[in-house]
Amino acid sequence: MTKMFTRRAMMTTALAAFAVALVPVRAFAVTSAQATSLVDRLVADINAVIASGKNESAMIREFGDIFARYGDLPYIAAYALGSDGRRASAAQKKAFTAAFTGYVARKYGKQFRDFIGGRFEVNGAKSVKNAYQVSTTAYLRGEAPFEVTFFVGEKSGRFYNMYVEGVNMLLTERTEIGSMLDRRRGDLDAMIADLKTAG
């Protein structure tokens, strides 16, 4: 993986995490237009955060608070934990979800400043299995334009995944969490404890 590709992946995952934070809980099925509107709001809100002039720590705190309030954290965290979640207790799952939220906020919130001077254009949405796939093009300073695809659950109305040039965000985080767990010889509690300060 090249340095450029890694940078793109990190920045677009930051965008994804921020998108999760911005999607309110819905009790009804969303439409294609609503899914597209959601991503439009995402672009506008990212620009607002960048333009706020807040320091990095404040931006990360704000991101984490919003993510914790609006994100579909049980699903995202469960997917990241993968098959190891089957042996986790309810308390461990809860602790992991909380630690994972902070980890995502720190890891990707630090990338926000890289969006300054860039823009994202929404190209449209199409229906896929139980979701809407919203295609966008990212234009960042010093980068060739690249595709970022968001997935919005049809029933939940929440953002739950994204692809950047074909790279699956959820699979990337599952691999990272799995590696962290392997380095701790499968000790869930140790991994959760370290995750609280990772990122």
CATH number at residue 45: 3.10.450.710
Predicted TM-score (pTM) of this structure: 0.74
Write out the residue range of the structural domain in which residue 120 sits.
3-195
Structural domains counted in the chain: 1
Q: Which residues contact 98 (CB under 8 A, 6 or more apart)?
A: none
C-alpha distances (whole Å) from 44 to each of 18, 47, 122, 126, 178 are: 12, 5, 11, 21, 34
Summarised one tens digit per residue, pLDDT across range 147-191 is 888 888 888 777 788 888 888 888 989 999 999 999 999 999 999
Summarised one tens digit per residue, pLDDT across range 77-133 is 899 999 999 999 999 999 999 899 888 878 777 766 666 677 778 898 999 988 889
